[in-house]
Amino acid sequence: MKRSILLVDDDMLMREFITDYFKKEQWDVHEAENGRVALELFERFTVDLVVLDIMMPEMDGWSVCRRIREKSDVPIIMITARAEDDDQLMGFELGADEYVTKPLSPRVLVARATALMKRTERTVGREAEMLQYGDLSVNREAHTVTVAGQLVNLTPKEYDLLLFMIKHEGKVLAREYILNAVWGYDYLGDLRTVDTHVKKLRAKLGDAGKYIATVIRSGYRFESEA
């Protein structure tokens, strides 16, 4: 199975060096020279792994890792020239899966990436790809939603919104938190965007819209026992 990687490093020669090794192992590689470009590419492409340098211009690796973790569980390997324990602890606290220090061996990096993917795929394989709440079914592999067996035509953002709320089932989600996680910090819209999309999502889900509860003066909550 061919995998896809987002490689983020401001050192062009390092990127080229690492890219060559990943391509030899049949990986598709998307390259970004800074954090801003990395987030743009992450929104555009589906990737299986992120390899992320920490010290970069415009936006450092810590910030990129934090932003990615707000909306995705994609495996992340962080790279740094610093070997201090505090740096590694920071990376793990932000949700990084692996930590590699420079100078690094691209061959070893590819091997560690492959091992991480195997562990991740075994874990994902144990998770139910089909989420079921009464008549509401969400197929995470096919990215489809049905209610009482009928396919619901959701926009990508409506699907992302539903999945985000399901992921945080039972928790009250503030509108600002939802906006930042689903639309991103750079989105210029206001909190009414969330209300509008929730209203449309409920309408499309019909009776299953009951699972999305409004918490007055706070936000929204997905309740599987609605």
Give tens-digit pLDDT for 127-173. 457 888 999 999 887 888 999 999 999 998 999 999 989 988 888 88
At the fourth CATH level, which superfamily is domain 4-119? Answer: Response regulator (3.40.50.2300)
For domain 130-222, is the CATH number 1.10.10.10? Answer: yes
Other C-beta atoms closer than 10 Å to the C-beta of 72 total 15
Give tens-digit pLDDT for 64-118. 998 888 878 788 998 887 655 566 667 677 778 888 888 888 888 998 898 888 8
What pTM was estimated for this model as a whole? 0.55
For the chain, domain boundaries: 4-119, 130-222
User: Nearest-5° angle of CA 89, CA 61, CA 47?
Assistant: 105
